[in-house]
């Protein structure tokens, strides 16, 4: 055994040094009380890439697209078709928000597998910094609550504070109040899980890349995990967008049809077009 170790590790066996990424970006400079971190810089890079892509694609638009315009049109069309398939026309109205979220998170996720980019101390993968994810989740949260209030009026609150069950008896009333409380806590929980799902996946991916690069000593053996990281990044940005669509649809759902359509939703869900029901624009208009 000793001979084997002596043969494999002529300089003696040492545990590999594993580079563990930081939870957040480290501060680069500060203006007043606000310090700007390496995540900010990486976000600026992502935004610059997206902006330049958009400007290049729309600079000389042609009737028959080619080159970069063709590519961007393909991406946008695919995105709109996907969103329409999931959420119907109500979701298509919100493509500017959803598409921006998707593209921003996608590029932020993929920035970490570009060689020599986030390995420097100047850049930190934005979605592996929970402040960024919390900001995204908070934006979505505020927007869908606002949409719910605008669509349902003040009756939107009745899904959390509901005393109408007391008409049918004390027991039903108490159950309705408890259901409202659970709904309220699930709203707050959504904010938390939306943040932590993205952060956990992306930070876990960073750790995986670091650990595999350290354990698989031969250069290039960690490449399959880079592929895995690309896939996880795509899936997680899709998931963030899908959940945003779902939260918008739940907020738009009027409470009167809430209970019946809930039962229907399960029955229809098994037939495979769950979100298409009950969101006709006429029904939603308050």
Partner 1 sequence: MEFAGLAAGIAVGLGVLGPSIGVGLATAKAAEAIGRNPDAAGTIRTTLILGGALAEGLGILSFVLGILLWTRIG
Binding of residue 215 to partner 1 (CB under 8 A): no
In angstroms, rounded to a whole number, what is the distance separating the alpha carbons of residues 284 and 286? 6
Where is 124: in which H helix or E strand?
none
Residues 140-179 binding partner 1 (CB under 8 A) are none
Cβ proximity to partner 1: between 196 and 228 the closer is 196
Q: Assess 238 for contact with partner 1 (CB under 8 A).
A: yes
> Binding partner 1 by CB under 8 A: which of 246, 250, 255, 261?
246
Distance CA 225, CA 255 (A): 46
CB of 271 to partner 1, least distance (A): 8
Instruction: Give the binding range for partner 1 (CB under 8 A) out of 2-10, 51-59, 137-145, 242-250.
Output: 242-250
DSSP 195-246: HHHHHHHHHHHHHHHHHHHHHS-STTTTHHHHHHHHHHHHHHHHHHHHHHHH
Q: Site residues for partner 1, window 60-119 (CB under 8 A)? A: 82, 85-86
Tell me the number of residues near partner 1 by CB under 8 A: 23
Question: What is the C-alpha separation between 200 and 230, in angstroms, rounded?
Answer: 15
Closest CA to 206 of 238, 228, 234, 235: 228
The number of helix segments (H) and strand segments (E) in the chain equals 9, 2
Query: Which residue, 204 or 224, is less far from partner 1 as judged by CB?
Result: 204
Give 108 or 201: the residue with its C-beta nearer to partner 1. 201
Minimum distance from residue 10 beta carbon to partner 1 (Å): 31
193 contacts partner 1 (rule: CB under 8 A): yes
At closest approach, how far in Å is the CB of 194 from partner 1? 9
> Of 98, 105, 137, 242, which lies in the binding site for partner 1, with binding defined by CB under 8 A?
242
For the chain, the farthest-separated pair of C-alpha atoms sits apart, in whole angstroms, at: 83
* Residues linked to residue 30 through DSSP beta bridges, in sequence order: 35
Strand, coil or helix: 51: helix
Nearer to partner 1, 199 or 248 (CB): 199
Q: How far apart are CA 259 and CA 118, in angstroms?
A: 48
| Residue among 200, 208, 265, 283 that touches partner 1 (CB under 8 A) | 200
Residues that bind partner 1 (CB under 8 A): 23, 82, 85-86, 193, 196-197, 199-201, 203-204, 235-236, 238-239, 242-243, 246, 269, 272-274
């Amino acid at each position: 055994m000793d001979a084997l170790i002596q043969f494999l590790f002529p300089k003696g066996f040492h545990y590999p040094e594993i580079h563990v990424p930081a939870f957040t970006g480290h501060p680069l400079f500060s203006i007043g009380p606000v310090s700007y971190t390496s995540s900010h810089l990486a976000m600026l890079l992502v935004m610059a890439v997206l902006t330049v892509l958009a400007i290049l694609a729309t600079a000389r638009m042609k009737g028959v697209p080619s080159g970069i315009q063709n590519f961007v049109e393909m991406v946008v069309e695919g995105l709109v078709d996907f969103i329409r398939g999931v959420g119907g026309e109500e979701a298509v109205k919100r493509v500017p928000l959803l598409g921006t979220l998707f593209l921003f998170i996608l590029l932020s996720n993929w920035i970490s597998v570009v060689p020599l980019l986030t390995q420097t101390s100047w850049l930190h993968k934005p979605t592996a910094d929970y402040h960024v994810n919390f900001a995204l989740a908070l934006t979505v949260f505020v927007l869908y609550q606002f949409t719910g209030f605008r669509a349902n009026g003040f009756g939107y609150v009745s899904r959390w504070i509901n005393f109408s069950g007391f008409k049918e008896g004390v027991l039903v009333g108490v159950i309705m109040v408890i259901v409202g409380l659970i709904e309220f806590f699930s709203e707050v929980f959504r904010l938390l899980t939306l943040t932590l799902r993205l952060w956990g996946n992306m930070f876990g991916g960073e750790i995986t890349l670091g650990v595999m690069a350290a354990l698989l000593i031969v250069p290039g053996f960690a490449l399959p995990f880079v592929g895995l990281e690309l896939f996880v990044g795509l899936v997680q940005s899709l998931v963030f967008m899908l959940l945003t669509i779902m939260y918008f649809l739940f907020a738009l759902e009027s409470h009167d049809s809430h209970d019946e359509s809930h039962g229907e939703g399960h029955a229809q869900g098994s037939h495979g077009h769950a979100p298409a029901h009950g969101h006709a624009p006429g029904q939603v208009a308050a």
